[in-house]
């Protein structure tokens, strides 16, 4: 194992998309940002230098951060933001993970332009549990706004309405030929016939789950959220924001005399207007005689499921199973110390006097977990916790029970108002947790990609309608459930997850739709230190930013 050093200089950078140029916040003047490559077991040091006027923080999404919570990154949760002119070195070791993850800014909406792949290769003397691919290609989905994303979310929060939808989806930062004046801004994957390519798919889009498909090709799913899965073939991949999926693409055995579109389009069940556009890239085969690409060939286009294909999504997620191989698979908790039932969904908050609000019935949009719309404090919770100095920062009374009335998929309550607070759950070290996440239909049923920091969890059950605590647990899969860091709570349904609270610190959990996070669909867990020295969170690094 080695130590890998990176420097991320946060700088403004001019980018032209959809025929207009704007200055974006970038890492090292790259968009999408640079790849972070390491092997399992390596230590990674990333020095982030803030050369812009905004406050910044970076999160290493899906990295477990075992006893390195100071490097996790969500602003006001594990650290104060890095202020203009300052720097902070994130220091973590990659333990028991291999595959694809990604890094992104974790403050306001800066992750709209600040994101890039994390590639974790197997240890030097280890290999993949599948045939070594000929080439590996990161494919990172994003969203592009012609406006400044910070202005988009700030305007939405001020008026209480929904933020403007993005102007395009992107593949590796490029909208592709189906968008206005973007044919030259197209991701092209140039391939040889008869080879296997490992595509590292990352959904870094802000607010949309995606379907992804390649015309006339199927792919084999081999990994999800940096954990190997039982391989299965599919022509369409479902991927929510915060999820990563490795797939093998076997190219045609012979030169096909055609070019193939790869495309992604949104899966969406909520209400309101929606920009139903498609991002596309091209797969171009190398011509056998002159080694050229894309010679006067026919173009094939994939068929993507329609916008609201909830049944398709449920079928797809059911197929994801862990490898159930002790070499790669963590142990599924068979017993539970603590059960939680949390509702996740949209709601609203009152409009201030003399203001006009653009949310539902003249209120402001909000979102909550157990009806608590989580307010970030003005200082970082992890420091407050570590130095036992948390009064005025947070309270440890996160409500264990969901609000009444209870029928989340039936008639919504008359009062849709959320409560506000910075309320946490405290877990003793090594608690085995079962958490049921239930979507509400208070303002329309919608799926929520819930992401937990600091842990992988097992998805032991899921279903539609209201969770039934009497009959549903009997159907849980405790043998080969998929292990992930982000789960799509189905629209009008529920999921049950289990994890072992073996990582001391303060851990964020939130919807990976940034608009829902901004509205308060976020909460925090504290995992206490264990008794042994190896079960305690070490003291903060000396360069940890101050608020
Ligand atoms: Cu990918 Cu808390 O985030």
pLDDT of residue 192: 97
CB contact burial 487-503 (16+ within 10 A = b; e otherwise) = bbbbbbbbbbbbbbbbb
Q: Evaluate whether 137 touches 197 at the Cβ level (below 8 Å).
A: yes
Angle at 528 (CA atoms; ends 527, 533), nearest 5 degrees = 120
- ω into 405 cis (within 30 of 0): yes
Angle at 450 (CA atoms; ends 379, 237), nearest 5 degrees = 140
**Residue 405: pLDDT above 70?**
no
pLDDT tens digits, 78-119: 999 999 999 999 999 999 999 999 999 999 999 999 999 999
Give yes or no for residue 516 CB within 6 A of ligand 1.
no
Phi, psi (degrees; rounded to nearest 5) at 158: -70, -40
**Sheet containing 87-93, strands listed edge to edge, beginning at the edge strand earlier in sequence:** 20-27, 3-17, 43-50, 87-93
Which ligand 1 atom minimizes the distance to the CA of 242? 1
- Beta-strand ranges (E) seen in 257-412 are 258-267, 279-285, 298-300, 338-349, 364-369, 372-374
Which ligand 1 atom minimizes the distance to the CA of 508? 2
Q: How confident is the model at residue 415 (pLDDT cuts 50, 70, 90)?
A: confident
pLDDT tens digits, 338-347: 999 999 999 9
Give yes or no for residue 74 CB within 6 A of ligand 1.
yes
Q: How far apart are CA 346 and CA 518, in angstroms?
A: 12
Report the nearest-CA residue for atom 1 of ligand 1: 61
Which ligand 1 atom minimizes the distance to the CA of 104? 1
pLDDT tens digits, 507-537: 999 999 999 999 999 999 999 999 999 999 9
H/E segment holding residue 213: strand 209-214
**Hey, what are 315's tokens?**
């079928």
pLDDT of residue 413: 81
Picking from 96, 100, 95, the residue whose alpha carbon sits closest to that of residue 44 is 95
Which ligand 1 atom minimizes the distance to the CA of 62? 1
Q: Evaluate whether 351 touches 364 at the Cβ level (below 8 Å).
A: yes
Q: How far is the CA of 128 from the centre of ligand 1 (A)?
A: 27
pLDDT tens digits, 435-480: 999 999 888 888 999 999 999 999 999 999 999 999 999 999 999 9
Q: How far is the CA of 303 from the centre of ligand 1 (A)?
A: 30
Which ligand 1 atom minimizes the distance to the CA of 517? 2
Picking from 65, 15, 108, 133, the residue whose alpha carbon sits closest to that of residue 503 is 65
**Residue 249: pLDDT above 60?**
yes
Q: Evaluate whether 161 touches 351 at the Cβ level (below 8 Å).
A: no
Q: How far is the CA of 59 from the centre of ligand 1 (A)?
A: 7
Which ligand 1 atom minimizes the distance to the CA of 111? 1
* DSSP-assigned letter for residue 381: H
**Residue 481: pLDDT above 90?**
yes
Q: Evaluate whether 493 touches 344 at the Cβ level (below 8 Å).
A: no
Give yes or no for residue 138 CB within 6 A of ligand 1.
no
Picking from 113, 303, 277, the residue whose alpha carbon sits closest to that of residue 212 is 303
Q: How far is the CA of 385 from the centre of ligand 1 (A)?
A: 21
Q: How confident is the model at residue 136 (pLDDT cuts 50, 70, 90)?
A: very high
Q: Evaluate whether 251 touches 285 at the Cβ level (below 8 Å).
A: yes
Which ligand 1 atom minimizes the distance to the CA of 61? 1
pLDDT of residue 406: 63
**Sheet containing 219-224, strands listed edge to edge, beginning at the edge strand earlier in sequence:** 168-171, 135-144, 196-203, 244-250, 219-224, 227-234
Q: How far is the CA of 61 from the centre of ligand 1 (A)?
A: 6
pLDDT of residue 275: 58
**Residue 154: pLDDT above 90?**
yes
Angle at 492 (CA atoms; ends 487, 497), nearest 5 degrees = 30
Which ligand 1 atom minimizes the distance to the CA of 486? 1
Give yes or no for residue 111 CB within 6 A of ligand 1.
no
Q: How far apart are CA 133 and CA 360, in angstroms?
A: 50
Phi, psi (degrees; rounded to nearest 5) at 37: -120, 130
Within 13 Å and on the Cβ side, how many CA atoms surround 372?
Answer: 22
* Count of beta carbons in the 10 Å neighbourhood of residue 253: 9
Give yes or no for residue 102 CB within 6 A of ligand 1.
no
Per the prediction, the chain carries an average pLDDT of 95
pLDDT of residue 270: 73
Q: How far is the CA of 106 from the centre of ligand 1 (A)?
A: 7
Q: How far is the CA of 512 from the centre of ligand 1 (A)?
A: 6
Q: How far is the CA of 2 from the centre of ligand 1 (A)?
A: 26
Report the nearest-CA residue for atom 3 of ligand 1: 61
Entry pTM: 0.97
Give yes or no for residue 508 CB within 6 A of ligand 1.
yes
**Residue 171: pLDDT above 90?**
yes
Q: Evaluate whether 11 touches 50 at the Cβ level (below 8 Å).
A: no
Q: How far is the CA of 60 from the centre of ligand 1 (A)?
A: 8
Kind of pairing between the strands at 135-144 and 196-203:
parallel
pLDDT of residue 272: 60
Picking from 3, 190, 156, the residue whose alpha carbon sits closest to that of residue 93 is 3
Q: What is the CA radius of gyration of the chain?
A: 23
Which ligand 1 atom minimizes the distance to the CA of 74? 2
Mean pLDDT of 20-44: 98
Q: How far is the CA of 292 from the centre of ligand 1 (A)?
A: 41
Q: How far is the CA of 182 from the centre of ligand 1 (A)?
A: 29
Give yes or no for residue 522 CB within 6 A of ligand 1.
no
Q: Evaluate whether 534 touches 499 at the Cβ level (below 8 Å).
A: no
pLDDT of residue 274: 57
Give yes or no for residue 61 CB within 6 A of ligand 1.
yes
Tell me the three state secondary structure of residue 467: coil
- Residue by residue, DSSP assigns 10-61 as EEEEEEEETTEEEEEEEETTBSS---EEEETT-EEEEEEEE-SSS-B-EEEE
- ω into 32 cis (within 30 of 0): yes
Residues ≥6 apart with Cβ < 8 Å to 327: none
Picking from 179, 195, 189, the residue whose alpha carbon sits closest to that of residue 214 is 189
User: H helices within 112-177, ranges in order?
Assistant: 149-159
Q: How far apart are CA 216 and CA 284, in angstroms?
A: 13
pLDDT of residue 402: 84
Q: Which of 302-306, 408-412, 498-502 has the lowest mean pLDDT?
A: 408-412
Which ligand 1 atom minimizes the distance to the CA of 453? 2
Q: Which residues sit opposite 282 in a β-bridge?
A: 188, 261
Q: How far is the CA of 242 from the centre of ligand 1 (A)?
A: 7
Q: How far is the CA of 257 from the centre of ligand 1 (A)?
A: 42
Give yes or no for residue 453 CB within 6 A of ligand 1.
yes
**Residue 546: pLDDT above 60?**
yes
Tell me the three state secondary structure of residue 2: coil
Tell me the three state secondary structure of residue 515: helix
Q: Evaluate whether 61 touches 101 at the Cβ level (below 8 Å).
A: yes
pLDDT of residue 401: 81
Which ligand 1 atom minimizes the distance to the CA of 102? 1
ipTM: 0.99
């Amino acid at each position: 194992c080695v130590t890998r050093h990176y420097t991320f200089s946060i700088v403004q950078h001019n980018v032209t998309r959809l025929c207009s140029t704007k200055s974006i916040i970038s890492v090292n003047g790259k968009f999408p940002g640079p790849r972070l490559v390491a092997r399992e077991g390596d230590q990674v040091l990333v020095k982030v230098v803030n050369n812009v006027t905004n406050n910044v923080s970076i999160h290493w999404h899906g990295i477990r951060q075992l006893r390195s919570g100071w490097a996790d990154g969500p602003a006001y949760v594990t650290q104060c933001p890095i202020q203009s002119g300052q720097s902070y070195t994130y220091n973590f070791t990659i333990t028991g993970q291999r595959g694809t993850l990604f890094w992104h800014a974790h403050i306001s909406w800066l992750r709209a332009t600040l994101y890039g792949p994390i590639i974790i290769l197997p240890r030097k003397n280890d290999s993949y549990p599948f045939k070594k691919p000929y080439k590996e290609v990161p494919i990172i989905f994003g969203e592009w706004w012609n406006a400044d994303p910070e202005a988009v979310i700030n305007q939405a929060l001020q008026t209480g309405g929904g933020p403007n939808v993005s102007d395009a989806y992107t593949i590796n930062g490029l909208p592709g030929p189906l968008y206005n004046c973007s044919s030259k801004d197209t991701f092209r994957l140039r391939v040889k016939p008869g080879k296997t390519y490992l595509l590292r798919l990352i959904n870094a889009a802000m607010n949309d789950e995606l379907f992804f498909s390649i015309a006339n090709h199927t792919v084999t799913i081999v990994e999800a959220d940096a954990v190997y899965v039982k391989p299965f073939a599919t022509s369409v991949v479902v991927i929510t924001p915060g999820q990563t999926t490795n797939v093998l693409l076997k190219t045609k055995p012979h030169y096909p005399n055609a070019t193939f579109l790869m495309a992604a389009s949104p899966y969406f069940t909520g209400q309101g207007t929606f920009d139903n556009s498609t991002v596309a890239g091209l797969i171009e085969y190398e011509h056998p005689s002159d080694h050229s690409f894309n010679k006067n060939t026919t173009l094939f286009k994939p068929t993507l499921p329609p916008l609201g294909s909830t049944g398709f999504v449920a079928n797809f997620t059911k197929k994801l199973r862990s490898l159930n191989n002790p070499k790669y698979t963590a142990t599924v908790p068979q017993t539970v110390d603590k059960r939680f039932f949390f509702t996740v969904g949209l709601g609203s908050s009152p409009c201030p006097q003399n203001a006009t609000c653009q949310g539902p019935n003249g209120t402001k949009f909000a979102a909550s977990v157990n009806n608590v719309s989580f307010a970030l404090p003005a200082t970082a919770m992890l420091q407050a916790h570590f130095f036992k100095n948390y009064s005025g920062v947070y309270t440890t009374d996160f409500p264990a029970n969901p609000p009444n009335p209870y029928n989340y998929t039936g008639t919504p309550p008359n009062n849709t108002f959320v409560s506000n607070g910075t309320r946490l759950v405290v877990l003793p070290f090594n608690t085995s947790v079962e958490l049921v996440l239930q979507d509400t239909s208070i303002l329309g049923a919608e799926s929520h990609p819930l992401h937990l920091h600091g842990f992988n969890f097992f998805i032991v059950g899921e279903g539609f309608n209201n969770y039934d605590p009497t009959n549903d647990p009997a159907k849980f899969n405790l043998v080969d459930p998929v292990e992930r860091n982000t789960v799509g709570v189905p629209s009008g349904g529920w999921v049950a997850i289990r994890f072992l609270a073996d990582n001391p610190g303060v851990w964020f959990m939130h919807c990976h739709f940034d608009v829902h996070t901004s509205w308060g669909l976020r909460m925090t867990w504290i995992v206490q230190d264990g008794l042994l020295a190896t079960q305690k969170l070490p003291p903060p690094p000396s360069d940890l930013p101050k608020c």
